């Protein structure tokens, strides 16, 4: 019984931490005006939608195909000119001096949750 109780407690703690990250990420999405260019419902806007984005193929203007994983998202937030998605303009500015590493992780948790 003790082992299963410990496993359950760990599961609850991890789930609540993940939910906090998603909630914080949503706040950051709104506070930093990400919603101005990136939808979460699949609607086409200035930038690609976050709906079903995570771990999916992205086709870039240089002909490369890349998977939208955590590394891709970090690079896209810090260096948006590095991976320009085909049929979207290169308008996004860098959030390198705006968001902390923890905030970027929370924003990515929010984006992952849109799948």
pLDDT band for position 97 (cuts 50, 70, 90): very high
Q: What pLDDT is stored for residue 19 in this prediction? A: 72
Q: What pLDDT is stored for residue 80 in this prediction? A: 97
**For residue 57, what are the β-bridge partners?**
67
Q: What pLDDT is stored for residue 16 in this prediction? A: 46
52-56, long-range: CB within 8 Å, 24+ apart, which pairs? 52/114, 52/115, 53/111, 53/114, 53/115, 54/111, 54/112, 54/114, 54/115, 55/115
Map residue 26 onto helix, strand or coil: helix
Provide the domain limits for residue 12: 2-112
Give how many domains the chain has, as a whole number: 1
Helix axes 2-31, 101-112, angle to 10 degrees: 100
**pLDDT, tens digit (0-9, with 9 covering 90-100), for 34-74:** 999 999 999 999 999 999 999 999 999 999 999 999 999 99
Tokens 């086709």 belong to residue: 59
State the CATH number of the domain containing residue 85: 1.10.760.10
Map residue 89 onto helix, strand or coil: coil
Verdict on whether the full-model pTM lies above 0.75: yes
Q: What pLDDT is stored for residue 13 in this prediction? A: 47
pLDDT of 12 > 80? The answer is no
């Amino acid at each position: 019984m003790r082992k299963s109780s410990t496993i359950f407690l760990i599961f609850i703690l991890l789930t609540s931490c993940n939910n906090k990250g998603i909630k914080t990420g949503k706040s950051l999405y709104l506070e930093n005006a990400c919603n101005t260019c990136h939808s979460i419902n699949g609607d086409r806007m200035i930038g690609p939608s976050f709906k079903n984005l995570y771990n999916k193929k992205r086709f870039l203007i240089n002909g490369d195909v890349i998977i939208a994983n955590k590394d891709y998202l970090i690079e896209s937030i810090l260096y948006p000119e590095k991976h320009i998605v085909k049929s979207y303009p290169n308008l996004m500015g860098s959030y390198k001096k705006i968001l902390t590493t923890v905030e970027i992780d929370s924003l990515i948790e929010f984006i992952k949750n849109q799948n």
